[in-house]
Amino acid sequence: MARLLNPLSPLSSLVFFLSMMAYPAALSVRNYGVGRSDASPWVLTDAALQLDLTWMHLMTDVIACMFGAWSAWKACSPRSMVAPPWIGGPSVRRYGVPVLKGAALSSLAYAAGCLPAIVQTLRFTGGSVPVGALLMGMAVPAAMFALGYALGAIMGSRWSLVPATLLPAALCWGSVFLLMPRTPKGDVFPRAWGSPLAAAMPVMDTGIGAEPGLSINPLAVTVRWVLVAVVLTTSTAACILTAHRWRPGLSWIVAPLAVLLLVPTAAGGLVAMSGPAEWHRSAPFTPVCKSIDGVPLSVCAHPDDGAQLRRYTRYMHSVASWFPKDSVEGSSGLVLLLGNAFTPTTHGQAWNLTDQGLTELQHLGGKKIQVMTDTVTERTGRYSDLADVTEAIVKEFVHADCAATALENVYKQRTLDDGASVSAFVLEQLPQRMRETAYESPGGGNGSSGMGSARGPAVDLLNEATNDEFHAYVRRNLSEIERCAVTPSNVINDLGKSH
């Protein structure tokens, strides 16, 4: 191993390698949905993984630049154990070999840190390996090591760690202001978008969302690696200039610093002005749709978005369980379209679908609502949470016209004194209760935190009922709730038996 890494220090390389792995590995765990009530441990979608791999290198970039500066200082030190390769031989070999080895090691560290996220996502979604996005992320640590190495060779001391820390940190945080957000906000999405600057800088967050059918632009990946090659070359050139031009005083430092900083900046600026867009969205597609037994309700998703389709199908099976079969007969129903993949690319289109996809969507019938699963836009903003979806379902399937006025005044009502106020109080809770039971495993959950302003025995029983008890109560009395035929005494007699 020492021979393979030579002239890099094996011990230092191991420490920095593990440090560079830690950041993407930690983000992989966080991005699996830890702490979110609706997320299984392995819900990362293919699109979300691609997006993450383009920016999870940020802390790794800083460490890679420090690794480069440290390695150059150690190799230049008279006490260095790897001094022999630096005594003679061509300058390109003396400086190019360690730059290439360190850059490769930094890229591999980032890839190794991302490996758990990639393996688990592929295992649970059946997607394809996100090669382009991974290469996009691997490129920056390689470039940062080369910059750090050149800084270390020019300064020749441990103080090179200071600019090697500040430079990548400034680039990473600068990308926040330059690249966020770049997502179209209207009801039409272009086929390709994203700032060309993303190919030239560390990507903090493009604000693009994990859209189904999202893919990295191969040309952007190529451009980024061309820029990496420029950085590796100029870093080596800066080291060579340092070795040949060094003399007492500081006048010699101008040439290597100019090469190191100005050449990559000029190349990056050229890309920023005329480079390719970073992302491609899906071409027109035929969606995969699932119908929910017992209710006129369907869920449709992009073929690449199996994880979201399974998730929302599970949610809608839970929602369907609130409605006895005879209560939804005659309803035209609803069709949930998951994500911005359905958003058209021109104003003349209804959806981003093939002719076959449009035909299948028409055969499903019902009202179409586009649900936010990634980026909030004009089309998906109304349905950015499952509670918004369940509210639409309640309005579609529960026709309690007799409670319309009471629903408008549900937060002003001090007591439940008639059937309309009881129906309004139940219907106000219903979407949130549906959301909670969809997120929970069977078994209940806690009672509601309280809806409206009313007080009294019937209100207390409704608020304190667990989600399972509330679910059973609504199923037993849905017809009466629609007709405002449930009085406060009915609530007390029915729910009071459970307490």
Looking at the chain, how many residues does it have?
Answer: 499
**DSSP state string for 100-153:** HHHHHHHHHHHHHHHHHHHHHHHHHH-----HHHHHHHHHHHHHHHHHHHHHHH
pLDDT tens per residue, range 264-281? 999 999 998 888 988 888
Output the furthest CA–CA distance in the chain (Å, rounded): 97
Cα–Cα nearest to 430, from 455, 457, 405, 393: 393
Burial 136-162 (b: 16+ CB within 10 A, else e): bbbbbbbbbbbbbbbbbbbbeeeebbe
Asked if 307 and 125 count as a contact pair (C-beta separation under 8 A), the reply is yes
Domain boundary among 227, 248, 280: 280
The answer to whether the CB of 428 falls within 8 A of the CB of 332 is: no
- pLDDT band at residue 288 under the 50/70/90 scheme: very high
Distances (CA, A) of 88 to 4, 314, 393, 458: 19, 67, 77, 90
Cα separation, 115 vs 102, whole angstroms: 20
Rounded to whole angstroms, the Cα distance separating 357 from 377 reads 22
CA terminus-to-terminus distance, the chain:
70
Distance of alpha carbon 336 from its chain centroid, rounded? 21
Among 106-115, 136-145, 165-174, 439-448, name the one with the lowest average pLDDT: 439-448
Distance, in Å, from the CA atom of 398 to the CA atom of 328, rounded to the nearest integer, reads 8
Is residue 366 within 8 A of residue 373, CB to CB? The reply is no
Tell me which H or E stretch contains 367: strand 367-371
pLDDT at 205: 62
84 has a pLDDT exceeding 70: no
Instruction: Report pLDDT for 166.
Output: 92
Expressed in percent and rounded to 5, the helix, strand and coil fractions of the chain are 60, 5, 35
Question: Which residue segment(s) compose the domain that 334 sits in?
Answer: 288-397
pLDDT classification of 182: cutoffs 50, 70, 90: low
Mark whether 420 and 366 lie in a shared domain. no
Q: Would you state the torsion angle of the CA atoms of residues 154, 160, 166, 170, taken in this order, to the nearest 10 degrees?
A: 20
- Confidence at residue 54, expressed as pLDDT on a 0 to 100 scale: 86
Of the candidates 371, 397, 423, which is a domain's last residue?
397
User: In Å, how far are 16, 106, 130, 205 from 111, measured between CA atoms?
Assistant: 14, 9, 12, 19
Phi-psi region of 281 (alpha: psi -120 to 50; beta: other; left: phi over 0): beta
pTM: 0.79
- State residue 52's pLDDT score: 84
- Name the strand (E) or helix (H) holding 162: helix 161-179
Q: Does 445 score more than 50 pLDDT?
A: no
Co-location of 334 and 272 in the same domain:
no
217 in the same domain as 345: no
Q: Are residues 306 and 391 in the same domain?
A: yes
* CB 421, CB 454: distance < 8 Å: yes
Boundary (domain end) residue, out of 225, 255, 280:
280
Residue 405, CA distances (Å) to 239, 400, 411, 425 in order: 78, 10, 12, 12
- Give dist(CA 127, CA 313) in Å, integer: 19
In this prediction, residues 425-436 reach a mean pLDDT of: 90
Q: Can the peptide bond before residue 24 be classed as cis, meaning omega within 30 degrees of 0?
A: no
**Looking at 393-397, 398-402, 404-408, 485-489, which range is the least confident one?**
404-408
Q: What is the mean pLDDT of residues 420-444?
A: 81
Rounded to whole angstroms, the Cα distance separating 19 from 359 reads 53
Measured distance CA(404)–CA(208) in Å, rounded:
40
- Please say whether the beta carbons of 70 and 12 come within 8 A: yes
Quick one: 71 and 182 in the same domain?
yes
Residues 275 and 302 grouped into a single domain: no
According to the model, what pLDDT value does residue 12 have?
86
Express as a percent the part of the chain with pLDDT over 90: 31
User: Could you say which DSSP state residue 285 is in?
Assistant: B
406 in the same domain as 388: no
Range among 19-28, 117-126, 446-455 with highest mean pLDDT value: 19-28
Which two structure tokens, joined as six digits, stand for 8? 């890099």
Q: At 18, list the tokens.
A: 């593990």
pLDDT in tens, 101-113: 999 999 999 999 9
Query: Structural domain tally of the chain?
Result: 3
Rounded to an integer, what distance in angstroms lies between the CA atom of residue 211 and that of residue 335? 19
454 and 324 in a common domain: no
Distances (CA, A) of 428 to 25, 125, 267, 342, 411: 43, 36, 59, 30, 10
Phi then psi dihedrals of residue 380, to 5 deg:
-105, -10
Asked if residue 121 and residue 95 are part of one domain, the reply reads yes
For residues 451 and 478, the answer to whether their CB atoms sit within 8 Å is no
Both 323 and 268 in one domain: the answer is no
Pair (228, 299) in one structural domain:
no
385 with 410, same domain?
A: no
Question: What pLDDT is attached to residue 30?
Answer: 61
pLDDT score of 87 more than 50: no
**Residue 107 C-alpha from the chain's centroid:** 22
**Quick count: other Cβ atoms within 10 Å of Cβ 163?**
18
